[in-house]
């Protein structure tokens, strides 16, 4: 659901490309988005598990090896009795409190997850019940793995722009520990469990400057699980070609950032904070180097909770918000890449 070039985009002889074909000059993307974030919350289960602790469970790794290759120092694993829906609900309650609204004010729930409690019903349906919302509203899950929150944001934004919904609860939640093979080090050291949520509401001013999402199905085999309901009747475990994921993550997230900056006629210098998917600090640093983002503008929380898939961006966003550094009016850029592969970016004014 990427945003198409508006019909009023200007077209002139001056815009002719080198091949003689007419090109479109993009206008500023203003006054066509009508949503903003008014609340954010996050949740991490249990106690932090350090690299030293994890090295006791995973063969052929040590604490220094994990830190040097990923920047991760610890992660959280939910106990068997705590499901994705439990974490999602806890993050949602914190976001609702932060927004100073009632659960009954919510008229749409979207949960981005790749680790639902059950094949059905959805995590979103369980959250609807757990929040005690007294009226029927639409609630559904969507899956774009680590890019789930960015995908979910664009979906929420378009629902709001349809004039059917005013207050959307968007949650990113994943229990990645349930699909990790702890006998193999290539994936088991990278992931953690957690949830983050935001309240997105209709606003009479344009707060979202640009957003765009993408997918390339030719790359499904670089990051996947080796199981599924229709293929093996089990969830399977995460499998990854780390070198290829690393390369595509830097290239595609960087390009999508450049796309939304161009769409909104905003310079990277004007962005106050970059909130990237928290997968690997080397990927984050690679994006920063490619786009010349100074380190002080980049939010990095991967060291504390590892890769929590769809929860990674809202976890980082909540930490930034609670730090007091984020001010109303600041320009915020979110970007992520996940399996599929899927990726995208959102540029908004806080």
- Looking at residue 302, what is its pLDDT? 98
Quote the CA–CA distance of 229 and 53 in Å, as a whole number.
32
Number of structural domains the chain divides into: 2
**What percent of the residues of the chain are helix, what percent strand, and what percent coil, each to the nearest 5?**
40, 25, 40
| Terminal Cα distance for the chain, rounded | 23
Q: What angle do CA 54, 60, 64 make, to 5 degrees?
A: 60
- Looking at residue 32, what is its pLDDT? 52
Q: Quick one: 189 and 240 in the same domain? A: no
pLDDT by residue for the chain (350 residues), tens only, comes to: 333 333 333 333 343 443 443 333 333 444 455 799 999 999 999 999 999 999 999 998 889 999 999 999 999 999 999 999 999 999 999 999 999 999 999 999 999 999 999 999 999 999 999 999 999 999 999 999 999 999 999 999 999 999 999 999 999 999 999 999 999 888 999 999 999 999 999 987 768 999 999 999 999 999 999 999 999 999 999 999 999 999 999 999 999 999 999 999 999 999 999 999 999 999 999 999 999 999 999 999 999 999 999 999 999 999 999 999 999 999 999 999 999 999 999 999 99
Do the domain assignments include residue 230? yes
pTM of the full predicted structure? 0.90
Q: Quick one: 160 and 194 in the same domain? A: yes
Positions annotated as catalytic residues are 146, 277, 307
Do the domain assignments include residue 5? no
- Looking at residue 186, what is its pLDDT? 86
Q: Quick one: 240 and 188 in the same domain? A: no
- Looking at residue 212, what is its pLDDT? 96
Those residues whose C-beta lies under 8 Å from the C-beta of residue 334, and which sit 6 or more positions away, are 149, 150, 153, 275, 276, 313, 317, 345, 346, 348
Listed residues 202, 225, 249: the one ending a domain: 202
Quote the CA–CA distance of 227 and 225 in Å, as a whole number.
5
Query: And the tokens for 149?
Result: 């929150």
Listed residues 202, 232, 255: the one ending a domain: 202
- Looking at residue 206, what is its pLDDT? 65
Q: Quick one: 179 and 69 in the same domain? A: yes
CATH no. for residue 160?
3.40.47.10
Task: Count the Cβ atoms, other than its own, within 10 Å of residue 146.
Answer: 33
Q: Please give the residue range of the domain that contains residue 151.
A: 35-202
- Looking at residue 312, what is its pLDDT? 98
Listed residues 202, 234, 266: the one ending a domain: 202
């Amino acid at each position: 659901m990427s945003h198409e070039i508006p019909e009023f985009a200007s077209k002139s002889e001056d815009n002719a490309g080198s091949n003689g074909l007419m090109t479109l000059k993009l206008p500023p993307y203003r006054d066509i988005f009508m949503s903003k974030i008014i609340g954010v919350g996050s949740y991490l289960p249990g106690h932090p598990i350090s690299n030293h602790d994890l090295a006791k469970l995973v063969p052929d790794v040590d604490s220094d090896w994990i830190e040097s290759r990923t920047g991760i120092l610890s992660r959280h694993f939910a106990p068997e009795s705590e499901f994705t829906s439990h974490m999602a609900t806890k993050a949602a309650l914190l976001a609702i409190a932060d927004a100073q609204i009632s659960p009954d004010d919510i008229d749409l729930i979207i949960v981005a997850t790749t680790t639902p409690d059950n094949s059905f019903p959805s995590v979103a349906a369980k959250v609807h019940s757990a929040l005690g919302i007294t009226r029927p509203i639409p609630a559904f899950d969507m899956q774009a793995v680590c890019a789930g929150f960015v995908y979910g944001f664009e979906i929420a934004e378009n629902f709001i722009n349809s004039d059917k919904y005013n207050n959307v609860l968007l949650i990113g939640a994943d229990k990645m520990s349930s699909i990790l093979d702890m006998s193999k080090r290539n994936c088991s050291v990278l992931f953690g469990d957690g949830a983050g949520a935001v309240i997105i509401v209709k606003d009479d001013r344009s707060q979202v400057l640009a957003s765009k999402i993408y997918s390339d199905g030719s790359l499904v085999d670089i990051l996947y699980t080796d199981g599924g309901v229709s293929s093996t009747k089990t969830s399977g475990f995460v499998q990854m070609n780390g070198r290829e994921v690393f390369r595509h993550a830097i290239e595609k997230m960087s390009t999508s950032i450049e796309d939304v900056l161009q769409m909104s006629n905003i310079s990277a210098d004007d962005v106050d904070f970059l909130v990237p998917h928290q997968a690997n600090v080397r990927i984050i640093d690679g994006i920063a180097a490619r786009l010349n983002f100074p380190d002080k503008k980049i939010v990095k929380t991967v060291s504390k909770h590892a890769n929590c898939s769809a929860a990674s961006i809202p976890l980082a966003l909540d930490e930034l918000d609670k730090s007091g550094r984020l001010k109303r009016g600041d320009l915020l850029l979110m970007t992520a890449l996940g399996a599929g592969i899927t990726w995208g970016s959102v540029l908004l004014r806080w």
